[in-house]
């Protein structure tokens, strides 16, 4: 079965600094990978997704992610964070080989922005 | 505006009581999903539905039931058999469940508390 690991439960970054959130997956087929963001008490919003092609994916709000098959990783990056980026970030993997089994999520990384 | 609505925002359940969470979408999406979110656990799939009058169990279906009588509606019932129902419940939908790279759009969530 597929699984997603987000090694960092909490990350604290100063406003204006760069950010990298880690995501590793375990998968037996071509992965479909997603990053979502969740503000407190809210639903999830898609930041970006990868399913084929260019391994560097651009998303909304200035985020990007790079798929590295050799490392089984899909890390999320942002060159300069803003206080409004404070939120919970989830990496997710789509169902193997098609189908409709829903997404498998990591446990999330809580991002704290220091002034 | 198109989107997913969930109601109520907060729901209280007494011991031994069944409660139903509402999820409605006007995106004309075929697939709908229910996830449960616990602190530090990420999201886990409860049930999903690819099409009207059809639904499948997810990873943690025990103690829950669903129906899909209309394309736009996918209510979730938390039964008395669910011994630990306190959680944040998120409904999602996607255009076509058979295409794994399709984005899942999430509702704002319902927080269920046990009295």
CATH for A87: 2.60.40.10
pLDDT tens per residue across span B18-68: 999 999 999 999 999 999 999 888 899 999 999 999 999 998 999 999 999
Closest partner residue to A106 among B42, B50, B97, by Cβ? Answer: B42
Consecutive 10-residue runs of chain A (115 residues): their mean pLDDT? 91 97 85 91 92 90 94 96 96 70 88 95
* Domain around A27: 3-114
DSSP per-residue letters across B33-50: EEEEEETTTEEEEEEEEE
Give the residue from B33, B36, B42 with the most A CB atoms within 10 Å of its CB, the best one to mutate: B42
pLDDT at A34: 93
pLDDT at A100: 54
pLDDT at A53: 83
Q: What is the dihedral of CA A107, A44, A17, A32, to 10 degrees?
A: 70
Residue B90: its chain A contacts at CB < 8 A? Answer: 43-44
Structural domain count, chain A: 1
Q: Does A20 touch chain B (CB under 8 A)?
A: no
Is A50:A67 a contact under the CB 8 Å cutoff? yes
Residue A43: its chain B contacts at CB < 8 A? Answer: 4, 6, 90, 106-109
Q: Which residues pair with A37 in a beta bridge?
A: A45, A89
Closest chain B CA to residue A99: B98
Specify which of B9-13, B48-52, B73-77 reaches the highest per-range mean pLDDT: B73-77
Closest partner residue to B106 among A44, A49, A101, by Cβ? Answer: A44
Distance CA B78, CA B20 (A): 6
Per-residue exposure over A35-48, b if at least 16 CB sit within 10 Å of its own CB, e if not: bbbbeeebbbebbb
Burial class (CB in 10 A: 0-12, 13-18, 19+), B74: buried
Task: Mark yes or no for CB contact B105/A46 under 8 Å.
Answer: yes
Q: How far is CA B86 from the centre of its chain?
A: 14
pLDDT at A97: 54
The chain-wide mean pLDDT, for chain B, equals 92
As a whole number of Å, the end-to-end CA separation of chain A is 41
Q: Does A11 touch chain B (CB under 8 A)?
A: no
Instruction: Using alpha carbons, list the distances in angstroms from residue A27 to A7, A97, A104, B38.
Output: 17, 11, 11, 24
Closest partner residue to B106 among A43, A100, A106, by Cβ? Answer: A43
Task: Mark yes or no for CB contact A42/B107 under 8 Å.
Answer: no
Q: What is the share, in percent, of chain B residues with pLDDT greater than 70?
A: 95
B106: region left, alpha or beta (phi > 0 left; psi from -120 to 50 alpha): beta
As a whole number of Å, the end-to-end CA separation of chain B is 35
Residue A102: its chain B contacts at CB < 8 A? Answer: 33, 35, 45, 48, 58, 104
pLDDT at B114: 87
pLDDT at B103: 85
Q: What is the 3-state secondary structure (H, E, C) of A60-103?
A: HHHCEEEEEHHHCEEEEEECCCCHHHCEEEEEEECCCCCCCCCC
Confidence of residue B100 (pLDDT cuts 50, 70, 90): low
Q: What is the dihedral of CA B67, B64, A45, B112, to 10 degrees?
A: 120
């Amino acid at each position: 079965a597929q699984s997603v690991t987000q090694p960092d439960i909490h990350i604290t970054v100063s406003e204006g600094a760069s950010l990298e959130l880690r995501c590793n997956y375990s998968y037996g087929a071509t992965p479909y990978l997603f990053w979502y963001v969740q503000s407190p008490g809210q639903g999830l919003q898609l930041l970006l997704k990868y399913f084929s092609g260019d391994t560097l994916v651009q998303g909304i709000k200035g985020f990007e992610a790079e798929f590295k098959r050799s490392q089984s990783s899909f890390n999320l990056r942002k060159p300069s964070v803003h206080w409004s980026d404070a939120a919970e970030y989830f990496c997710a993997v789509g169902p193997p080989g098609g189908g409709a089994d829903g997404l498998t999520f990591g446990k999330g990384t809580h991002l704290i922005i220091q002034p | 505006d198109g989107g997913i609505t969930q109601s109520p925002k907060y729901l209280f359940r007494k011991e031994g009581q069944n409660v139903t969470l509402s999820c409605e979408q006007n995106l004309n999406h075929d697939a709908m999903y229910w996830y449960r979110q616990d602190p530090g656990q990420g999201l886990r799939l409860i049930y999903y539905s690819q099409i009207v009058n059809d639904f499948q169990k997810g990873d943690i279906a025990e103690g829950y039931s669903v129906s899909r009588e209309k394309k736009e509606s996918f209510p979730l019932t938390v039964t008395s058999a669910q011994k630990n129902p306190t959680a944040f419940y998120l409904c999602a939908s996607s255009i076509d469940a058979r295409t794994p790279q399709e984005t899942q759009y999430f509702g704002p969530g319902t927080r269920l508390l046990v009295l």
